[in-house]
Amino acid sequence: MRRRNDTREAGGVAITHDSRVPTFFVDREYETRRLEEAVRGKQSLMICGPAGIGKTALALKVIRGLPKDFAARCLYLRGVKDLQDLLCQLIRALYVVKDPTLRQELHKEGVSVRTFEAWLKALSTSRLKGTLYRIVEQGDYRVFLDHLPPLTHATAKVMKELFWMRNTPVHIVVSDAVEHRIDQFSHFFYWGERERLALQPLPAGAALELVESCIERFGLARLDLSDFREEVLELSKQIPGAIVKMSMLAADPRYQYESRIKIKSVYIDYLMSGHNLSLPGTKLSGM
């Protein structure tokens, strides 16, 4: 039996995701190229769009597509709690990729593998910032920050220091489900359209291609798929994460009646899981 969570490396930083959700990536050639150009050209970028649109998948695809030594300099952080956690995670990531400046500093202080975490947790915020700034000035890093909490002025100041004064680009992955989050980042960093990469729903052809991949991956072809494709495309609003998760639910016998898929139940339970893709006048059928 496969474990629910699977840990893999992205830019030298371990990330955890739900291994029950396969990674599907269709279309997005323009977005992939633009983000890769920003990473290579040391340009900070805000990746935004609604939940499930594929922001995280895009960031990880670009990082994993880079040459190994380059990818190791992309520090991917997910779920930062506050300023202290941000600083600790960044220094921990630099330790994982064996940054020579950090290793030299640790050697001078007699810090070993066994004592590193205790040393890190004992540092004050000012010491953490000083250590981080010294390291990135000597290196050539890119920072990816995914699922950030609301920004404080102190956190924003560190981020601005990184990419304005320390020549370290910061790529922020942020959901625009709450509009003020986009406004907040724009206010702090004065980002215009050139510094934003807004992901849109998939084109109709790509969305249908994704539906077909899900049908094959989740073994749905054995069922009566009358109207299933059309309904999934309509209810998902062609958002890739919604297509994948609704297809996963459809594969569960609880959402099947004889050979038909109870698409209304699938959709309602998908929304109950914390997503909100409903539109006024959306037609639900397929019970």
Q: CB within 8 A of 47, min separation 6: which ones?
A: 35, 55, 58, 59, 171, 172, 173, 174, 197, 199
Is there a single domain that holds both residue 52 and residue 188?
A: yes
- Boundary of a domain, candidates 181, 198, 215: 198
Q: CB within 8 A of 265, min separation 6: which ones?
A: 254, 255, 287
Average pLDDT over residues 89-98: 96
pLDDT tens, residue by residue, 232-273 = 999 999 999 999 999 999 999 999 999 999 999 999 999 998
Backbone angles phi, psi at 74, to 5 degrees: -100, 110
Question: Is 285 a domain residue?
Answer: no
3-state SS string for 11-68: CCEEEEEECCCCCCCCCCHHHHHHHHHHHHCCCCEEEEECCCCCHHHHHHHHHHHCCH
Q: What confidence category does residue 164 fall into, taking pLDDT thresholds of 50, 70 and 90?
A: confident
Question: Is 61 a domain residue?
Answer: yes
Between 287 and 97, whose confidence is greater? Answer: 97
Between 277 and 108, whose confidence is greater? Answer: 108
Cα–Cα distance between 144 and 150 in angstroms, integer?
16
Arithmetic mean of pLDDT over the chain? 85
pLDDT of residue 210: 96
pTM of the model: 0.83
pLDDT of residue 188: 66
Q: Give percent of the chain above pLDDT 90.
A: 63
Q: CB within 8 A of 216, min separation 6: which ones?
A: none
Question: Is 216 a domain residue?
Answer: yes
Is there a single domain that holds both residue 184 and residue 210?
A: no
Query: What CATH number does the domain containing 113 carry?
Result: 3.40.50.300
pLDDT of residue 184: 67
Return the axis-axis angle of helices 29-40 and 55-65, rounded to nearest 10°. 60
Cα–Cα distance between 64 and 163 in angstroms, integer?
22
Q: Which two tokens stand for residue 191?
A: 């980002």
Whether residue 178 is predicted with pLDDT greater than 90 in this model: the reply is no
Is there a single domain that holds both residue 110 and residue 173?
A: yes
- Boundary of a domain, candidates 198, 222, 257: 198
pLDDT of residue 11: 46
Is there a single domain that holds both residue 40 and residue 156?
A: yes
Q: What confidence category does residue 287 fall into, taking pLDDT thresholds of 50, 70 and 90?
A: very low
- Boundary of a domain, candidates 198, 230, 247: 198
Whether residue 166 is predicted with pLDDT greater than 50 in this model: the reply is yes
Q: Which helix (H) or strand (E) holds 173?
A: strand 170-175
pLDDT tens, residue by residue, 16-63 = 344 444 567 888 999 999 999 999 999 989 898 888 999 999 999 999
Is there a single domain that holds both residue 228 and residue 268?
A: yes
Question: Is 286 a domain residue?
Answer: no
Quick check: 230 and 263 in contact, CB under 8 A?
no
Counted domains in the chain: 2
Question: Is 281 a domain residue?
Answer: no
Is there a single domain that holds both residue 52 and residue 161?
A: yes
- Going by C-alpha positions, the residue among 173, 238, 180, 177 that lies closest to residue 205 is 238
Is there a single domain that holds both residue 67 and residue 172?
A: yes
Which residue segment(s) compose the domain that 220 sits in? 204-272
Is there a single domain that holds both residue 10 and residue 26?
A: yes
Is there a single domain that holds both residue 57 and residue 107?
A: yes
Average pLDDT over residues 146-153: 82
Q: What confidence category does residue 176 fall into, taking pLDDT thresholds of 50, 70 and 90?
A: low
Quick check: 238 and 207 in contact, CB under 8 A?
yes
Question: Is 277 a domain residue?
Answer: no
pLDDT of residue 19: 42
Q: What confidence category does residue 79 fall into, taking pLDDT thresholds of 50, 70 and 90?
A: confident
Cα–Cα distance between 19 and 182 in angstroms, integer?
30
